[in-house]
Amino acid sequence: MSYARMKFYCDDKRCINCDGCSIACAEANELPVGISRRKVVTLNDGVEGKEFSTSIACMHCTDAPCEQVCPVDVFYIREDGIVLHDKVGCIGCGYCLYACPFGAPQFPTDGAFGTRGVMDKCTMCAGGPEPTNSDKERELYGQNRIAEGKVPVCAAMCATKALLVGDGESVSEIYTKRVASRGHGVQSVPYGWSTAYGR
Amino acid sequence: MKKTVLFILMTLGAYAREIGGQVPLVQMDLSASKGGDLLVSSQMIQNILHYQNWGGLFLNLQVHWFRLLFAIILIGVIVVFAIHYLIIGKKVFNENCPSVLVYPLFQRIIHWIAALSFVLIIPTGLIMMFGKYFGGGEFVRISRYIHSIGTVVFIIAFIPLFYIWVREMIISFKIDTKWVFILGGYLKKKHIKVPAGKFNFGQKTWFWMAILGGFVMIVSGAAMYFQDFNIPILYKLKLDQIDLLRIMAVVHNFVGMAILALFITHLYMSLFAIKGSLKSMLTGYKSVHELKYLNSSYYKKLLTKGFISEDKVEDD
């Protein structure tokens, strides 16, 4: 029996750079101004035929580098593959940001002197180590939609359904169908994934 | 000019409101979108492709090496000196003979400001590095803040420290190579006349490590502290901002190791290896007897200048 591993995938043939996912995320999780757990980025801006946009957040890596480098060991990987961290233990050192290939870790300012606070990142709307759906969990990590059986808010809001989320195999199945119906533009792995991981 | 004044007023206003408990409706800091959008830009995606260059290096070092090397240095250096203390022991010099003012008041003040900064920075740095053994959270986070505050103290001492001692710290091949060959005479119990001016080669190494290494630490530490910044030179170097941060973290750790090793050495020398060493940095005076053996070149210079006379110092 194989276990499901939760994965995000952004279909750059469908993404229209509307920023809906990142705004939905920021609103649903009440993020402070300047913190983007999810970002929409356009590459080759204005180059005909080459321009594309993609939405990026924490990719919930199987071998999460952030989890490996953390000096205080606050990261944990759930059985379904979602990478989460404990904000109470986090010291905001920034090492996870250096280790992350995707620039996912965010650092809100904290307190009167504008010092860097503890790390904040995409939780795949699965909260954190606090009791599920408790006030503290909501305050620290945002919504826990996974516990309610809902899709993460970014993918739920995606108007063109470019942003897919779910267990890796289902995502791949949907994507395979799309590619087959399009008849061109096969991209076996997400942009940059193979180079980043040498696979 | 007007802009600067306005900026300062706005910043002060924002702080005053926060301290006063009145939270502004909109947070002024738009860190993700200010200054060229470096961390949120196409650079962010393109960098995924070059992850192995610096990201892989940082990952490998942080996962396998940094903590291990710091532990080896911390324990290794302490063990070596503990053995030295057991075998060779303290060097004791006659304190009843005349003494010379070696460190004037200003030098002592600067030394102790720098010392305070090291005492703040080094243990807190180690606490962060071994944070998981302290359970993370509040304690380690506060250590991180103290690490930054210690840096401000070090910056205050930095230029005066350089200025007061740079002339005497210039390495002299004639004297210092001899010092290296006998390892400063620290391997013998007997007092021997060690070739050294006002500062020996060990002290010179520590001085240059504190100055040059300290400068590197300030720069690399500042890069990591400010994290999201925009400096045009990065475009010229074709270096992504995140890669600069990774390089800075690697440099900060390696230079930190060197500083740690020499800091422990300095502590051992001043607290254990030479009797009265700590006192000399508090009062400024060193006994002529000590100078005769540990700083023989300086002693000769004092003799020729007539500051001291030979007959008052007994031989061993």
Q: What is the ipTM of this complex?
A: 0.89
Nearest alpha-carbon partner for B210 in B256, B146, B276? B256
Contacts of A62 (CB under 8 A, 6+ apart): A5, A77, A81
Residue A130's pLDDT is what? 95
A114–B26: do the CB atoms touch at under 8 Å? no
Per-residue confidence (pLDDT) for residue A179, from 0 to 100: 83
How open is the CA angle A81-A142-B145, to the nearest 5 degrees? 95
CB pairs under 8 A between A and B: 141
Q: Is B59 in contact with A95 (Cβ distance < 8 A)?
A: no
Question: Class of B49-312 per CATH?
Answer: mainly alpha
What backbone phi and psi angles, to 5 degrees, belong to B196?
A: -165, 145
* The residue to which tokens 């324990």 are assigned: B75
Asked if the Cβ–Cβ distance from A99 to B59 is below 8 Å, we say yes
What's the confidence (pLDDT) of residue B14?
54
- Mutate which of A37, A58, A72 to test chain B, going by most B C-beta atoms within 10 A? A72
Least confident window among A31-35, A84-88, B213-217, B228-232: B228-232
Residues within 8 A of B (CB atoms), A 53-82 only: 54, 56, 65, 68-74
pLDDT number for residue B20: 45
- Weakly modelled stretches of chain B, pLDDT under 70: 1-41, 310-316
* Distance between CA atoms of residues A92 and A115, nearest Å: 10
Q: What is the pLDDT of residues A133-182, one digit of tens each?
A: 999 999 999 999 999 999 999 999 999 999 999 998 999 999 889 888 87
Cα–Cα distance for residue pair A93/A72, rounded to 1 Å = 10
Instruction: Indicate the class that CATH gives domain A6-197.
Output: alpha beta
B163/A72 Cα distance (integer angstroms): 39
- With beta carbons under 8 A apart, name residues in chain B contacting A72: 131-132, 134-137, 140
pLDDT at residue A4 is higher than 90 = no
Kindly tell me if the per-residue pLDDT of A88 is higher than 50.
yes
Contacts of A172 (CB under 8 A, 6+ apart): none
* Residues of chain B found within 8 Å of residue A32, distances taken between Cβ atoms: 27
Instruction: Answer whether A194 touches B (CB < 8 Å).
Output: no
- Identify the pLDDT of residue A138: 94
Rounded average pLDDT over A93-115: 87
- Are the beta carbons of B264 and B177 closer than 8 angstroms? no
Q: Are A8 and A38 in contact (CB under 8 A)?
A: no
- CA pair distance A78, A161, nearest whole angstrom: 26
Cβ contact B47–A45 (<8 Å): no
pLDDT at B231: 75
What pLDDT, on a 0 to 100 scale, did the predictor assign at position B228? Answer: 80
For the ranges A46-50, A85-89, B125-129, which has the lowest average pLDDT? Answer: A46-50
DSSP secondary structure, chain A, as one string: -----EEEEE-TTT-----HHHHHHHHHTTPPTT--SSEEEEESTT-TTT-EEEEE-----TT-HHHHH-TT--EEE-TTS-EEE-TTT-----HHHHH-TT---B--EETTTTEE---B---TTB--SSSTT-HHHHHHH--BTGGGTPPPHHHHH-TT--EEEEEHHHHHHHHHHHHHHH-S---SS-TTHHHHHT-
Share of chain A above pLDDT 70, in %: 88
Closest Cα partner for A192 from A4, A61, A6? Answer: A61
